[in-house]
A = this chain, B = another copy of it.
Amino acid sequence: MPTLVMKFGGTSVANLDRIRRAAKRIGVEVAKGYDVIVIVSAMAGKTNELVGWVDEISPLYDAREYDAVVSSGENVTAGLMALTLQEMDVPARSWQGWQVPLLTNGAHSSARIQEIPIANLNRKFEQGMKVAVVAGFQGLSPEGRITTLGRGGSDTTAVAFAAAFGAERCDIYTDVDGVYTADPRICSKARKLDRISFEEMLELASLGAKVLQTRSVELAMRYKVKLRVLSSFEEQSDTAGTLVVDEEEIMESNVVSGVAHSRDEAKMTAVSVADRPGIAAIIFTALSDAGVNVDMIVQNISDEGRTDMTFSCPTDQVGRAEKALLAVKDSGALNFSELVADTDVCKVSVVGIGMRSQSGVAAKMFKVLSDEGINIKVITTSEIKISVLVDRKYMELAVQALHDAFELERVA
């Protein structure tokens, strides 16, 4: 039998009605002849309740106990989903992580999947089970304790199962109906993409389009798992959602596939640091040790042996970054005249695998922004992405102007 993996997030299983709705979708795939592996999240809100309790007991908790507690929400959903399917005469059973087993390393709360032996599930499929409902987000450590995979870990669970079982496809049911050329809330012309490449999806995921966890896309790309993102609240159809596939499976595409934005960015500049080898390492090691997620980095041209070092990070990490850099300054390892934080910026990016073969995208992007009177503060590029920091008040304008200029409302 061909295998299909279907993953339902927290809002898709938030109550018994939604579980029933999801079960009906599963039933449709079973009727088509698939052996189905269903990955479920905890009912919406449940994991936050558990995390809240742990945080209240202990700010510096034992991650092994944290994992044992917070993984329980998925177990509940798995059992309830199996019961709902049985009620519809679909032979189903629930599997907790340790029962599969989904083997991980011992890095509690952010464990990495090491292996998913397929024998246990396959034996049950051979005995007539049609649906294995697997509790997402959790695994078993080498010490026999429960691990969790970190936030969004159920997406990763789903892709890992699809890879292990050679599934025909991995359908991620969520509360949005696919991946868009831009956020429809700020760009009315945004269009749902039928297909997108793994590489583009990765850039979009890391740019703040929170449809899929970055890690799950990486895993899907590595194991060539065909991913589909679709809404559990829309009518079912074979062309619903967005397929995330290998680049070769996308016949023709726009040069630019989408415009992404990220609102809560801050730009920080250490003014007049010594321009000599090792200084950048000192700065970014200190920031990394302090848990600051540095995104863009720009170093200005040197002037009399001094330079300015500029970087961006999430707005809520500015305080931490300042503290870390002032500490390094106090230690004498680093000197700067001033630390300037601009917390009123945002990041706007254009993404597209077409950029690899077509030049002039950057020039066009800068001209579009310039024509709108938007000043660019920082620029970074990758092979398939160009990102700029601009004042936050221009965010909507920038996204809309770029969407128009690259004609993203038109199907390629």
Contacts and interface: CB of A to CB of B under 8 A. Distances in A.
Considering residues A64, A73, A83, A96, which has the most beta carbons from chain B within 10 angstroms of its beta carbon? A83
A57 B98 contact: no
A83 B99 contact: no
B96 A83 contact: no
Nearest to A64: B93
A383 interface: no
Interface string A74-96: 01101110111011000001101
A83 B65 contact: yes
A69 interface: yes
Considering residues A80, A87, A99, A146, which has the most beta carbons from chain B within 10 angstroms of its beta carbon? A80
A68 interface: yes
A410 B96 CA distance: 55
A241 to B, nearest CB: 27
**How many copies of this chain does the complex contain?**
2
A87 to B, nearest CB: 5
A96 B79 CA distance: 17
Contacts of A53: 16, 76, 80
A57 B16 contact: yes
A54 interface: yes
A50 B76 contact: yes
Contacts of A144: 99
A69 B64 contact: no
Contacts of A84: 57-58
Contacts of A75: 68-69, 72, 75
Nearest to A54: B83
Contacts of A69: 75-76, 79-80, 83
A62 interface: yes
B96 A68 contact: yes
Given A54-B79, A57-B87, A58-B87, 5 more contacts: A53-B76, A57-B83, A75-B75, A96-B146, A99-B145
A83 B61 contact: yes
Nearest to A50: B76
7 contacts: A58-B86, A58-B87, A64-B93, A65-B82, A68-B79, A68-B94, A69-B83
